[in-house]
Amino acid sequence: MGLARCLRKVERTEKYAGDMSTYATIVHVDMDAFYASVAERDDPTLRGKALVVGAGARGVVLSANYEARKFGIRAAMPVGRAQRMAPHAIFVPPNHARYSEVSDAIMKIFADFTPLVEPLSLDEAFLDVTGARRLLGTGREIGTEIRKRVFEQEGITCSVGIAPSKFIAKLASGHCKPNGLLEIAPDRILTFLHPLPVSALWGVGPKTAETLEQLGLRTVEDVANLPRATLIRAIGQAAGETLHELAWGRDFRDVTPEDVDKSISAAETFAHDLDNPEEILQEFLRLTQKATARLRDKGLFAKTISIKVRFADFTTINRSKTLPLATDSAHEAYEVVKDLYTALRIERARLRLVGVSLENLVSAAPEQMVLGARDKGWRDAERAIDRARARFGRLSVRPGRLIENSEDEIDE
């Protein structure tokens, strides 16, 4: 594998020095304010208004449309702060099941253009369309058609960056937002890249940016012109070598399709701190039901069950357990979740957030045969519940312990 990657890097290096028609064509597609756009599509009366996805003063902003961003509202901002910045804005709760549904449809559109699709999240992906150019046209023509298909089929807009590498393609899509297309030709890479601030380089966070600025490096061009050895001494071998290459627009990473989810999780930030163990276990049950339903919907099984607990002072702890056999059963997963929580021995501690994560996912799992067990068990019952929910709605069947606390889920 190492030799193969080395040969690909040499091949790509030769292409950079040769005929421009031999360059790779990488497309980065990024939905515009994805969660907010889905909400606007599902409720057209929201269009043209400042819209924020995120509910409860103690929650965080997950998405804000461009009208809301005019007031300085950004993702990850506390909802309470966003409400103070734009009291007139409309705040709606997230609908993660809906986002996953739209994301799946979008990824299928991408797959119509190339099998080389690397999702980065629900709302963005890299596509290597080098091999598709002969049939589908230039990178710009393919990007234009992708934007058209996404809008016609899903009713939302996206921004598309096109370049010979993943790094430049992602920068390009960010520069043409919202609802734009920008192609960076091979002979324009440095003209586009070098005036940008050092923060544009992948891997440059606030701490690295501060170190670079102390060296007088404020633009990508400054980094490119600094001797490699000096850069390595300042920020380390691996980071120095990577940034030097990126500063010259050199990025030889392949688009790598990723078919299997790494984890599936669900979390809840409470409207007020909870200290009642029974209420907390109810929340854990609800989150376990939600996460395992998504697991079964994707045809996956989890070997590792994890919980997250965040206290009122923001201290956070995580605990996990790996099972001998993978499972997709909410009943089995909740027994593990309950044991992990109970083992913490934190009765009456004030909790701000709890979460459940299903990890170490596999596409198949053997079922442990137990002497004297019933022919039909929890897995069969839960699959029957899944079918009922698909036909009659998500709240048509649920544990009795959750009925009283399900009002906040009706609009999801």
Distance CA 207, CA 364 (A): 43
Catalytic residue among 40, 124, 154, 268: 124
Is 30 assigned a ligand-binding role in the annotation? yes
Inter-CA distances, 364 with 102, 249, 306, 373, 389, Å: 25, 42, 20, 21, 23
Q: Which of 151, 156, 157, 160 is nearest to 181 (CA)?
A: 160
Helix (H, G, I), strand (E, B) or coil at 33: coil
Phi-psi label, residue 237: left if phi above 0, alpha if psi -120 to 50, beta otherwise: alpha
- CB proximity list for 363: less than 8 A, separation 6 or greater: 260, 299, 300, 301
The C-alpha torsion from 303 through 304 and 305 to 310, rounded to 10°, is -160
Is 297 assigned a ligand-binding role in the annotation? no
The C-alpha torsion from 42 through 48 and 54 to 56, rounded to 10°, is -110
φ, ψ at 29 (rounded to 5°): -110, 130
Distance CA 41, CA 25 (A): 31
Cβ proximity of 157 and 147 under 8 Å: yes
CA angle (256 as vertex; 221, 74 as ends), nearest 5: 60
Specify which residues 63 forms β-bridges with: 53
Q: How many residues does the chain have?
A: 412
Provide the token pair at 72. 């300085």
Answer yes or no: 213 catalytic. Answer: no
Which residues form the catalytic set?
124
Residue numbers belonging to the annotated binding site: 30, 123
Residue numbers belonging to the annotated binding site for Mg(2+): 30, 123
